[in-house]
């Protein structure tokens, strides 16, 4: 039984689900993913599971919201003056905008409500406050050179 080591590249298939079972991502859409272990390319809990797996093994890893995308934060919901937004396309609930955060990093905002003068937008990650579950299958191990 061969298991991967830090520095190895593993090929995986995965399905990510919310607690209610809703699928929020999988490799059916993207194809198998290559992950180089030890480089923080995936959640640490999933990497830890991969370190003990052999090719063909499947494992389910649950990640609490605090260790996934964090808790939902009320302070991440903001009111923006409509004059700060482009006129076209007209803002609609569910539309996403990119803004600059206080540290200069880009922030994705999702429009919640559109008023005459302001737009209410949410800067929380869509999975903030959600526990997530990875069903992961190890397909291949490529040893580090």
Task: With H, G, I as helix, E, B as strand and everything else as coil, classify residue 66.
Answer: helix
**Burial profile 78-99: b = 16 or more Cβ within 10 angstroms, e = fewer:** eebeeeebeeeeebeeeeebee
- Residue 4 forms part of a structural domain: no
pLDDT at 102 over 90: no
- Looking at residue 88, its pLDDT comes to 85
44-74 pLDDT, tens digit per residue, is 999 999 999 999 999 999 999 999 999 999 9
Residues 10/4, Cβ–Cβ less than 8 Å:
yes
Domain coverage including residue 134: 9-69+128-142
Q: What is the mean pLDDT of residues 33-48?
A: 95
- Residue 3 forms part of a structural domain: no
For residue 85, the domain's CATH number is 2.40.10.330
- Residue 21 forms part of a structural domain: yes
Q: Tell me the whole-structure pTM to 2 decimals.
A: 0.78
- Residue 2 forms part of a structural domain: no
- Looking at residue 1, its pLDDT comes to 64
115-133 pLDDT, tens digit per residue, is 999 999 999 999 999 999 9
- Residue 24 forms part of a structural domain: yes
- The CA-CA-CA angle for residues 5, 36, 19, to 5°, reads 100
Tell me, yes or no, whether 63 and 80 share the same domain. no
DSSP assignments along 78-113, one per residue: EEEEGGGS-SSSPP-TT-EEEEE-TTS-EEEEEEEE
In the chain, the number of structural domains is 2
For residue 43, the domain's CATH number is 3.10.50.40
């Amino acid at each position: 039984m061969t298991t991967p080591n830090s520095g190895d590249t593993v090929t995986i298939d995965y399905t990510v689900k919310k607690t209610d079972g809703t699928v929020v991502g999988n490799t059916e859409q993207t194809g198998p993913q290559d992950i180089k272990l030890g480089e923080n390319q995936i959640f640490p809990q999933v990497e830890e599971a991969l370190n003990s797996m052999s090719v063909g093994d499947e494992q389910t890893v649950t990640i609490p919201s605090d260790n996934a995308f964090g808790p939902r934060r009320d302070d991440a919901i903001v009111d923006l003056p409509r004059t700060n937004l482009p006129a076209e396309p007209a803002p609609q609930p569910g539309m996403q905008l990119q803004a600059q955060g206080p540290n200069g990093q880009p922030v994705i905002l999702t429009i919640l409500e559109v008023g005459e003068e302001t737009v209410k937008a949410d800067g929380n990650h869509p999975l903030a406050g959600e526990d997530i579950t990875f069903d992961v299958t190890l397909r291949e191990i490529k040893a580090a050179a």
